[in-house]
Amino acid sequence: MAEKPDAIALLKADHRKVEELFQKFEKAKSDSVKTALVQQICTELSVHTAIEEEIFYPACTGQIEDDTLTEAYVEHDGAKVIISELLASSPENEFYDSKVKVLSEQIKHHVKEEEMRAEGMFAQAREAGLDMEALGDQMAARKKELLAEFKANGLPTPKTRSFTGHKLDQSQPVAAI
pLDDT (tens digit, 9 = 90+) per residue, 29-72?
Answer: 999 999 999 999 999 999 999 999 999 999 999 999 999 999 99
How many distinct structural domains can be found in the chain? 1
Which of 4-8, 132-136, 154-158, 173-177 has the lowest average pLDDT? 173-177
CA distance 97 to 106: 14
Between CA 43 and CA 53, with CA 48 as vertex, the angle to 5 degrees is 130
Per-residue pLDDT at 173 exceeds 60: yes
The Cα–Cα gap between 3 and 8 comes to 14
pLDDT for position 64: 96
Supply the DSSP string of 108-147, one letter for each residue.
Answer: HHHHHHHH-TTTSHHHHHHHHT--HHHHHHHHHHHHHHHH
pTM: 0.91
Residue 2, in any domain of the structure: no
Domain assignment of residue 109, yes or no: yes
In a domain, 47, yes or no: yes
For the segment 139-153, what is each residue's pLDDT rounded down to a tens digit?
999 999 999 999 999
Max intra-chain CA distance, the chain: 61
Is residue 147 in a domain? yes
What mean pLDDT do residues 111-132 have?
95
Domain hosting residue 86, numbered range: 7-154
CB neighbourhood size of 76 (10 A):
25
Q: Is residue 67 part of a domain?
A: yes
Determine, yes or no, domain membership for 165: no
